Amino acid sequence: MRDVAALAGVSLKTVSRVVNDEPGVSDDVRTRVQTAVARLDYRPNLAASNLRRLGARTGLIGALVQDLSNSFSAALLRALEDAARTRRTGILTASLDEEIHREQALVHDLVTRRVDALVLMPSSRSQEYLAAELRTGTPAVFVDRPPRGVEADSVVVDNAYGARLAAEHLLDQGHRRIAGIFHLPQIHTAAERMRGFTSALTDAGLEPDPHLMVTGVATVEATAAAVRELLDLADPPTAIFAARNNLAVGAVRAIAERGLSREVALVGFDDFPMSDLVDPPLTVIRQDVPRIGRTVADLVFQRIEGDRSPVQHVVLNPSLLVRGSGEIPPRR
């Protein structure tokens, strides 16, 4: 605030009145202060009374994930919370629901509250809106999806590799009619999983059948409906790859409704609670979510503690967890 006051040539009290939208300031002075605020990337500090000592922290990290109810997000946050607790740091979290405007509004709210760092699973195609915060020193670590438009640390899994594992496993069982069900194609993880899946089919000498490729599916219900349509085809798939944990739930439901649980092979991407209790138990591409969370936490606290080394992009490999559903042979 002192820097803003000096640049605008006004008092601290005048700056306070402008940023708090109080009366008693002429239009000319208000414009000068607002220009200085924009030039210096100044943000009001809602916790200023607690941050008077140089280098003081709020003891809070803002973590924005796609859906708090999703088992992947929940496990990730738990790992982050466990790491933060040992450092006497709290986590402020919210769901983004793949909404770009919600993402930007929540990020603005968190940085206004002066969190010590951000953990972000972005929905937006570009995070250039974060450039000012990163430039002024707010650490940010991206998880599950890499940053675009800004340079920041990230921790992701090799989604293309994981999808390739799933497709190759089904091919190894003898399947040639393999359907793929994918999330929103503009989302990095969905696009990468689709790329890995289709490249595995192509490398095996198969032309991906557009009738067996379903994209833009976001819910359990939509997935179940899509699987029913696939099973109603004149030449239905003998195996299905569900490229997200909630999509796997919808696929399990639709296949069971048709009484085909022992006839149609299924591999999911991401584990979820009780996936080992369905009949047959679900074969999945497993992400080591606790490890992802710990890696994110390590990067976050390194940055909070002053590490200014070049940004790090950590890529972890998922693994195939064989349980039964992905080992069903094709119907003859």
For CA atoms 121, 125, 129, 133, the dihedral sign is positive
Give the per-residue pLDDT at 314. 98
Q: Which of helix, strand or coil describes residue 278?
A: coil
Structure tokens at 89: 């740091």
CA pair distance 239, 177, nearest whole angstrom: 7
Asked if the structure places residue 18 within a domain, the reply is yes
Cα angle, residue 138 at apex, residues 29 and 60 outer, rounded to 5°: 110
Pairing of strands 283-286, 319-321: antiparallel
Give the per-residue pLDDT at 57. 79
Give the per-residue pLDDT at 163. 98
Does residue 310 share a domain with residue 196?
no
Asked if the structure places residue 264 within a domain, the reply is yes
Ramachandran class of 137: left when φ > 0, alpha when ψ lies in -120 to 50, beta otherwise:
left
Torsion of CA 89, 158, 319, 316, to 10 degrees: -40
Does residue 258 share a domain with residue 164?
yes
Please report, for the domain that includes residue 249, its CATH number. Answer: 3.40.50.2300
Can you point out the beta strands (E) in the chain?
Answer: 60-65, 90-95, 117-120, 140-143, 153-157, 178-181, 213-214, 239-242, 265-269, 283-286, 313-316, 319-321
Does residue 173 share a domain with residue 150?
no
Give the per-residue pLDDT at 142. 97
Contact assessment for residue 223 and residue 269, using Cβ atoms and an 8 Å cutoff? no
Q: Which of 81, 60, 69 is CA-nearest to residue 294?
A: 81
Does residue 312 share a domain with residue 270?
no
Give the per-residue pLDDT at 53. 39
Give the per-residue pLDDT at 52. 44
Does residue 296 share a domain with residue 259?
no
CB atoms within 10 A of CB 69: 9
Give the per-residue pLDDT at 257. 96
Asked if the structure places residue 332 within a domain, the reply is no
Does residue 248 share a domain with residue 232?
yes
Which H, E and C letters describe 219-241, residue by residue?
Answer: CHHHHHHHHHHHHCCCCCCCEEE
Pairing of strands 153-157, 140-143: parallel
Does residue 195 share a domain with residue 179?
yes
Number of domains present in the structure of the chain:
3
Asked if the structure places residue 101 within a domain, the reply is yes
In one-letter notation, the amino acid at residue 218 is A
Asked if the structure places residue 84 within a domain, the reply is yes
| 60-65 sheet: strands from edge to edge | 90-95, 60-65, 117-120, 140-143, 153-157, 313-316
Does residue 310 share a domain with residue 199?
no
Cα angle, residue 242 at apex, residues 239 and 244 outer, rounded to 5°: 165
CA pair distance 278, 255, nearest whole angstrom: 12
Does residue 189 share a domain with residue 251?
yes
pLDDT tens digits for the chain (332 residues)? 889 999 999 998 999 899 888 888 999 999 999 999 999 888 776 555 444 433 567 889 999 999 998 889 999 999 999 999 988 899 999 999 989 899 999 999 998 888 999 999 998 889 999 998 888 889 999 999 999 999 999 999 999 999 999 999 999 999 999 999 999 888 999 999 999 999 999 999 999 999 999 999 999 999 999 999 999 999 999 999 999 999 999 999 999 999 999 999 999 999 988 899 999 999 999 999 999 999 999 999 999 999 999 999 999 999 999 999 999 999 86
Does residue 175 share a domain with residue 284?
yes
Give the per-residue pLDDT at 41. 86
DSSP 24-76: S--HHHHHHHHHHHHHTT----TTGGG--STT----EEEEEES-TTSHHHHHH
What's the half-sphere exposure (Cβ side, CA atoms, 13 Å) at 269? Answer: 30
Does residue 165 share a domain with residue 121?
no
Asked if the structure places residue 54 within a domain, the reply is no
Provide the residue range defining the domain that includes 8. 2-39
Asked if the structure places residue 46 within a domain, the reply is no
Does residue 84 share a domain with residue 74?
yes
Give the per-residue pLDDT at 113. 84
State CA 197 to chain mean position distance: 20
Give the per-residue pLDDT at 44. 72
Write 85-92 long-range contacts (CB < 8 A, 24+).
Answer: 87/301, 88/59, 89/59, 89/60, 89/61, 89/116, 89/301, 90/59, 90/60, 90/61, 91/60, 91/61, 91/62, 91/63, 92/60, 92/61, 92/62, 92/63
- The model's pTM: 0.80
Contact assessment for residue 182 and residue 243, using Cβ atoms and an 8 Å cutoff? yes
Asked if the structure places residue 191 within a domain, the reply is yes
